[in-house]
């Protein structure tokens, strides 16, 4: 989000302000409508119907959210209705410009919301423990894709799946990213076979904002948010500038280009085209282990979205295509040739071809401002192949999703049917708001996974199809007032594999004072494990894969791998305190989460270094997470963020309770950001992030060759990233940065790298960066501006 | 981590020592009408001596915290007028006002 520095003090009477001005009468009514993004940012909302209550006399807001109506003395109420949401009414009692903020179609006038500049914030009014990362924050790091976008965010950490492919995986509350539901425009995405590589396939430059919330999310989006939810807002009609180009290059030889452009087609249609190219042809082997440090890649991603707005219908149509190819492994490889296995050449190749599409349609009932209906549809086909030495993986996924959401606002004061009962409208606006959403959804997944190894002793040669059809229904009730917020939801689903189940969720917010907020939440979540894909990094080793060894627990007959559905419960609390100290703003945030699994797919690396065991949880699996965060503006335009996180994650591995491996219990985080004074849109920006990553447990390696036995725990280390950005004006900025400034790397990340087909080969035990200090640079060129008038 | 705490306490003590100088926390009326105006107003007041400048669109009041020994109230009004925004004490020159972006043309008081 291009920062929109609107400082609005919204009191109950929105336009009883500017009393300094004379009372001259306009012959028209004009103003702007904004959309509430979060407490720090709003954006102009085009396509809002503005009309006099009880008439058809009205207009639609333009791209800047601006509207102008002839003033009519006979009508005292203006209705603001935005397709897909309920509408709201304002009384016209003044001739000033009307500037309102809509949130889910509702005029935010019961809060005394003060919008201040900022690009990272905790939400004070959302009962969920959410915070928003905007473009300003994302640009603090070069963040080439979604997996790399969380560098300046202490809630989410990135880890590597293996030392060969360089794939980054996210973790939240100490649990892997597969338990975080990822949405794009509120539609679930990055599911199934995309669980690992899907994050790399969302270019950072396309991201307008990310809403990260910890704990179970809304039942509207299904039951899959087990530890958190990440909702992406990609560049699209309404938030995209006319044209944007981002060029990036780094010391390792990776080149990227990102672009999008946005245009209006006719009166009602608007479209955005997005493109991404990534290419790396330079071979690096800094640690001299004979393996490429970064894969040679060749990626193309395209996206196109069309939005349509009319008085009754708001529609979005979009399609996304991903082609990704990455080759890594032995340095001596020639891409076109097959590796010479007899000479110990090891080749890793990953290929993705994914096509997906979605539709969102919102319909507003013409005669009832309190109702709305929305339909979400999406579908995808994904072809994912992977080659690790002489192990070959082929995955195919076809999925479809439909969700119909009906929303009804509950009128609290049921007077006699008097259409012009102004008292009713006013009270509903001022006191509290209650509404419910209900709907039905259908998820279809057909996932085919096959794994073939030419190693004679490899046990898991499997070709299985997992087909799951899940119809579901849900209801969610929201109560919101200045002091208290409540969202409670319940959904019932029936899986063709796992049968019927109920998913409850609860979120509570209590604003103790204007600056102090307490939140509590609880809920359950579930997901179907994707055995091979979500552990694909373990294929980059000589480990044998064993499913349910020693007849461990009962296996599910309907799941081709005999795996049960993963079920978790999550309880949490968050505390937010905003303060002003020495005339500078700051905030303190603390949260605690307890997650426990009723069932989980256990990946057991601790029985022997020769094998990995997969089985259903038999015992305890839990995570306790505590995070403390302090944000403060130390000096003018110089902000500091301090964070500390404690993670206590345990699982039962073959009857023994052990700490989750390759996860640091303690993590500290310091971010310093300084901006020079903005002189005619010219500015310097400096950003530096230092992280302290505590010691991590390393899985069992005692039965390795003596020189390949690792110590039980890793050393702690520091990771430092820094970036300088020069803003040359509204159009051009250039950035230069460095990752891993302290040049800390893991010694010998690949065990037995000289013999990749031998029994000790292992590249999946990664706890620190493989590649050392790396410089990068790039530029951003933008034409046109969405937010400004 | 320890170093950071030390650094932080140094910064705070520097700020505390600054408190011995006279700090004025006030609100003045600044005319303007949109978010671009806010940008302009707050950016113009980003000068030595002014600690906080926070303009509110609805009330058109700007909270200003400044060091009286470094900048005068007179000067603050002058800065705002030079940027194109009228205050109760200083009016912007006509040509400066005319040069503002069209959406920023607030209603001027007589």
Q: How many domains does chain A have?
A: 2
Per-residue pLDDT at A335: 56
Hey, are the CB atoms on B51 and A583 less than 8 Å from each other?
Answer: yes
Q: How many domains does chain B have?
A: 1
* Interface membership of B42 toward A (CB under 8 Å): yes
B35 vs A188 pLDDT, higher one: A188
Asked if the Cβ–Cβ distance from B52 to A642 is below 8 Å, we say: no
pLDDT band at A207 (very low <50, low <70, confident <90, very high): very high
Of A84, A118, A152, which marks where a domain is finished?
A118
Q: Using one digit for the tens of pLDDT, what is the confidence trace for A567-588?
A: 999 999 999 999 999 888 899 9
The pLDDT value given to residue B107 = 83
Whether the CB of A637 is below 8 Å from some CB of chain B: the reply is: yes
- In this predicted structure, the answer to whether residue B60 has a pLDDT above a threshold of 70 is yes
Average pLDDT of span A643-654 = 95
Separation of alpha carbons A614 and A451, rounded Å: 15
Given CB atoms, is B74 within the 8 Å cutoff of chain A?
A: no
Domain carrying residue B78: 22-104
Listed ranges A307-316, A764-773, B4-13; the one with the highest mean pLDDT: A764-773
The yes-or-no verdict on residue A114 having pLDDT over 60 is no
For residue A6, pLDDT beyond 50: no
Least confident stretch, A10-19, A353-362, A666-675, A762-771: A10-19
CA distance A425 to A428: 5
| Closest CA of chain B from A271, distance in Å | 26
A684: containing domain: 234-783
DSSP string for residues in A154-211: TTEEEEES-TTT--EEEEETTEEGGGEEEEETTEEES-GGGTTGGGGGSBGGGEEEEE
A26 touches chain B (CB under 8 A): no
CATH of the domain at A642: 2.40.170.20
Q: What is the pLDDT of residue A556?
A: 84
Q: Which residues of chain B have a CB within 8 Å of the CB of A4?
A: 35
| Chain A residues 104-163 with a CB less than 8 Å from chain B | 114, 116-117
Residue A281 lies in a domain: yes
Instruction: Look at residue A427 in the predicted model and tell me its pLDDT.
Output: 43
Kindly state whether residue B69 falls inside one of the protein's structural domains: yes
Q: Where is A356: in which H helix or E strand?
A: strand A347-364
Contact flag B59-A634 (C-beta cutoff 8 Å): no
**Contact assignment for A6 to B35 by CB distance below 8 Å:** yes
Give the C-alpha distances (Å, rounded to integers) separating A629 from A91, A145, A153, A669, A673.
Answer: 42, 25, 11, 9, 16
Considering chain B, what is the average pLDDT of its residues? 85
Kindly state whether A17 is in contact with chain B, defined as any CB-CB distance less than 8 angstroms. Answer: yes
A97 at B interface, C-beta within 8 A? yes
Return the CATH number at B76. 3.30.70.100
Phi, psi for A235 (deg, rounded to 5): -60, 130
Shortest distance between the Cα of A581 and any Cα of chain B, in A, equals 10
Between the two ends of chain B, the Cα-to-Cα distance in Å is: 57
- Chain B residue numbers touching A17 (CB-CB < 8 A): 58-60
Tokens of A728: 């040359």
Residue B40 lies in a domain: yes
Neighbours of A21 (CB within 10 A): 16
Chain B residues near residue A117 by CB distance under 8 angstroms: 42
Percent of chain A's residues with pLDDT above 90 = 58
Residues of B in contact with A642 (CB under 8 A): 4, 8
Q: Which of B11, B42, B58 sits opposite A8 (nearest CB)?
A: B58
Q: Do B38 and A584 touch (CB under 8 A)?
A: no
Q: Which residues of A touch B34 (CB under 8 A)?
A: 789
Helices B35-44 and B73-83 sit at what angle, rounded to 10 degrees?
140
Residue A15's pLDDT is 32
Q: Is residue A144 part of a domain?
A: no
- The answer to whether the Cβ–Cβ distance between B54 and A116 falls below 8 Å is yes
A90-106 per-position pLDDT tens digit: 777 555 567 777 776 66
> CB contact, 8 Å: B16 with chain A?
yes
The confidence band for B13, taking pLDDT boundaries of 50, 70 and 90, is: low
Q: What is the pLDDT of residues A688-699, one digit of tens each?
A: 999 999 999 999
Q: Please check whether residues A238 and A105 belong to one and the same domain.
A: no
pLDDT tens figures, A479-515: 988 889 999 999 999 999 999 999 999 999 999 998 9
* Both structure tokens of A85: 């949401």
Query: Does B33 reach chain A within 8 Å, measured CB to CB?
Result: yes
Phi/psi for A57 (5° steps) reads -75, 110
Answer whether residue A788 is part of any domain. Answer: no
Q: Average the pLDDT over each of A98-107, A617-626, A629-638, B89-98 and give the range with the smallest value.
A: A98-107
The pTM is what?
0.80
**Looking at the domain assignment, is residue B1 inside a domain?**
no
For chain B, how are helix, strand and coil distributed in percent, rounded to 5? 40, 20, 40
Question: Is some CB atom of chain B closer than 8 A to the CB atom of A10?
Answer: yes
Note whether A98 and A107 are within 8 A (CB).
no
CB contact under 8 A, B60 and A97: no
pLDDT at A55 over 80: no
Look at residue A342 and tell me if it is in a domain: yes
Percent of chain A with pLDDT over 70: 86
DSSP state of A341: G
> How far apart are alpha carbons A733 and A545 in whole angstroms?
49
Residue A752, strand partner residues = none
A718 within some domain? yes
Residues pairing with A648 in the sheet: A624
pLDDT at residue number A417: 42
Nearest to A1 by CA among A234, A187, A203: A234
Same domain, A253 and A112: no
Reported as type and span, the H/E element at residue A37 is strand A28-38
Contact B33, B88 (CB under 8 A): no
**Is B52 part of a structural domain of the chain?**
yes
Residue A166 falls inside a structural domain = no
Which of A118, A146, A164 is the last residue in one of the domains? Answer: A118
Main-chain phi, psi angles of B40, to 5 degrees = -65, -45
Task: Let me know if residue B88 belongs to a domain.
Answer: yes
- pLDDT of A12 strictly over 50: no
Domain-located, residue A416: yes
What CATH number should be reported for the domain holding residue A52?
2.60.40.1120
- Output the six-digit token pair for A124: 């004070």
Contact residues for A665 (Cβ-Cβ < 8 A; gap 6+): A646, A647, A648, A659, A694, A695, A696
3-state secondary structure A420-473: CCHHHHHHHHHCCEEEEEEEEEEEEEEEEEEEEECCCCCCCCEEEEEEEEEEEE
Min CA distance, B38 vs chain A (Å)?
Answer: 7
* Higher pLDDT, residue A393 or A787: A393
> Would the pLDDT of A217 be above 80?
yes
Q: What is the DSSP string of A43-59?
A: EE-TT-EEEETTSS-EE
**Average of per-residue pLDDT across B86-101:** 91
In-domain check, residue B45:
yes
For A89-103, A256-270, A288-302, which range has the lowest pLDDT when averaged over its residues?
Answer: A89-103
Q: In this model, does residue A1 exceed pLDDT 50? A: no
B40 at A interface, C-beta within 8 A: no
Q: Is residue B110 one of the residues assigned to a domain?
A: no
Q: Between these two residues, B108 and B78, which has the higher pLDDT value?
A: B78
Q: Are A788 and B35 in contact (CB under 8 A)?
A: yes
Of A234-243, A446-455, B5-14, B47-56, give the lowest mean pLDDT range: B5-14
Q: Quick check: helix, strand or coil at residue B84?
A: coil
A66, A98, A118 — which closes off a domain?
Answer: A118
The whole-number pLDDT of residue B1 equals 63
Q: Token digits for A769?
A: 């960066």
Instruction: Write down the ipTM of this complex.
Output: 0.74
Q: Residue A369's pLDDT is what?
A: 67
Any idea what DSSP says for residue A708?
G
Q: In the numeric block, which tokens belong to residue A410?
A: 């509950």
Q: In terms of domains, do A392 and A518 share one?
A: yes
Can you give the pLDDT at residue A38?
Answer: 57
**Min CA distance, A168 vs chain B (Å)?**
27
- Looking at A134-143, A173-182, A624-633, which range is the least confident one? A134-143
């Amino acid at each position: 989000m291009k920062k929109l520095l609107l400082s609005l003090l919204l009191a109950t009477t929105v336009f009883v302000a500017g009393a300094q001005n004379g009372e001259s009468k306009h012959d028209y009514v004009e103003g702007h409508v904004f959309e509430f993004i979060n407490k720090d940012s709003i954006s102009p909302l085009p396509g809002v119907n503005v009309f006099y209550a009880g008439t058809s006399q009205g207009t639609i807001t333009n791209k800047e959210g601006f509207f102008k109506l002839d003033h009519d003395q006979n009508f005292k109420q203006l209705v603001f209705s935005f397709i897909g949401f309920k509408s709201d009414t304002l009384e016209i009692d003044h001739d000033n410009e009307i500037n309102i903020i809509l949130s889910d179609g509702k005029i935010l006038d019961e809060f005394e919301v003060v919008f201040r500049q900022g690009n990272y914030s905790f939400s004070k009014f959302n009962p969920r423990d959410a915070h928003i990362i905007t473009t300003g924050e994302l640009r603090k790091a070069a963040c080439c894709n979604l997996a790399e976008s969380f560098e300046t965010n202490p809630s989410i950490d990135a880890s590597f799946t293996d030392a060969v492919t360089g794939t980054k995986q996210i973790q939240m509350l100490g649990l892997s990213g597969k338990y975080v539901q990822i949405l794009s425009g509120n539609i679930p995405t990055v599911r199934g076979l995309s669980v690992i590589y899907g994050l790399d396939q969302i270019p950072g430059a396309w991201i307008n904002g990310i809403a990260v919330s910890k704990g179970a999310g809304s039942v509207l989006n299904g039951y899959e948010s087990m530890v958190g939810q990440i909702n992406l807002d990609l560049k699209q009609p309404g938030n995209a500038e006319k044209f944007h180009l981002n060029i990036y290059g780094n010391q390792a030889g990776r080149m990227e280009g990102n672009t999008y452009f946005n245009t209006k087609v006719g009166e009602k249609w608007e479209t955005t085209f997005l493109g991404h190219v990534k290419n790396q042809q330079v071979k690096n082997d800094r640690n001299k282990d004979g393996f490429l440090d970064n894969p040679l890649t060749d990626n193309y991603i395209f996206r196109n979205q069309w939005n349509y707005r009319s008085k009754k219908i708001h529609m979005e149509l979009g399609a996304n295509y991903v082609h990704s190819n990455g080759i890594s492994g032995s340095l001596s490889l020639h891409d076109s040739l097959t590796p010479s296995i007899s000479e110990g050449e090891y080749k890793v190749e990953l290929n993705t071809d994914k096509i997906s599409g979605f539709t969102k349609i919102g319909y507003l009932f013409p005669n009832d401002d309190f109702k709305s209906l929305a339909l979400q549809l999406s579908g995808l086909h994904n072809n994912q192949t992977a080659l690790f030495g002489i192990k070959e993986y082929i995955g195919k996924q076809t999925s479809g999703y439909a969700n119909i959401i009906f929303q009804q606002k509950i009128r609290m004061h049921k007077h006699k049917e008097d259409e012009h009962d102004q008292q009713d409208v006013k009270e509903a606006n001022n006191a509290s708001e209650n509404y419910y959403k209900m709907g039905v959804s259908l998820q279809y997944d057909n996932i085919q996974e096959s794994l073939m190894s030419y190693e004679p002793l490899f046990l898991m040669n499997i070709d299985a199809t997992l087909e799951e059809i899940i119809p579901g229904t849900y209801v969610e009730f929201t109560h919101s007032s200045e002091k208290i917020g409540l969202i409670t939801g319940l959904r019932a689903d029936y899986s063709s594999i796992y049968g019927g189940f109920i998913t409850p969720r609860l979120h509570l917010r209590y604003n103790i004072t204007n600056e102090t907020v307490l939140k509590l939440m609880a809920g359950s979540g579930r997901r179907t494990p994707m055995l091979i894909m979500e552990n694909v990094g373990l294929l980059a080793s000589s480990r044998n894969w064993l499913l349910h060894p020693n007849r461990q627990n009962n296996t599910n007959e309907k799941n081709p791998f005999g795996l049960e559905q993963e079920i978790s419960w999550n309880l949490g609390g968050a505390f937010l305190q905003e303060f002003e100290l020495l005339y500078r703003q700051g905030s303190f945030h603390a949260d605690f989460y307890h997650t426990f699994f009723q069932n989980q797919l256990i990946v057991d690396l601790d029985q022997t270094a020769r094998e990995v065991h997969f089985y259903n949880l038999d015992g305890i699996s839990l995570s306790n997470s505590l995070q403390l965060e302090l944000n403060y503006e130390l000096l003018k335009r110089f902000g500091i963020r301090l964070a500390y996180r404690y993670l206590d994650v345990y699982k039962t591995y073959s009857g023994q309770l052990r700490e989750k491996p390759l996860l640091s219990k303690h993590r500290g985080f310091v971010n310093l950001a300084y901006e020079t004074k903005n002189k005619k849109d010219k500015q310097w920006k400096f950003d530096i992030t230092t992280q302290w990553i505590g010691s991590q447990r390393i899985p069992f390696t005692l039965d390795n060759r003596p020189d390949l036995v690792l110590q039980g725990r890793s050393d702690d280390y520091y990771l430092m990233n820094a970036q300088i950005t020069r803003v040359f004006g509204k159009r051009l900025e250039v950035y230069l940065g460095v990752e891993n400034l302290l040049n800390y790397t893991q010694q010998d990340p690949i065990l037995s790298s000289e013999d990749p087909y031998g029994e000790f080969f292992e590249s999946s035990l990664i706890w620190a960066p493989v590649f050392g200090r790396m410089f990068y640079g790039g530029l951003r060129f933008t034409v046109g501006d969405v937010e400004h008038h | 981590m320890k170093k950071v705490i030390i650094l932080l306490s140094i910064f705070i003590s520097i700020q505390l020592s600054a408190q011995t100088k006279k700090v004025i926390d006030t609100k003045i009326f600044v005319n303007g009408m949109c978010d671009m105006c806010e940008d302009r107003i707050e950016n113009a007041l980003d000068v030595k001596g002014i600690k906080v400048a926070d303009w509110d669109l609805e009330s058109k009041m700007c909270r200003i915290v400044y060091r009286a020994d470094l900048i005068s109230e007179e000067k603050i009004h002058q800065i705002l007028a030079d940027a194109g925004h009228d205050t109760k004490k200083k009016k912007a020159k006509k040509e400066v006002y005319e040069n503002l972006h069209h959406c920023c043309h607030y209603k001027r008081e007589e």
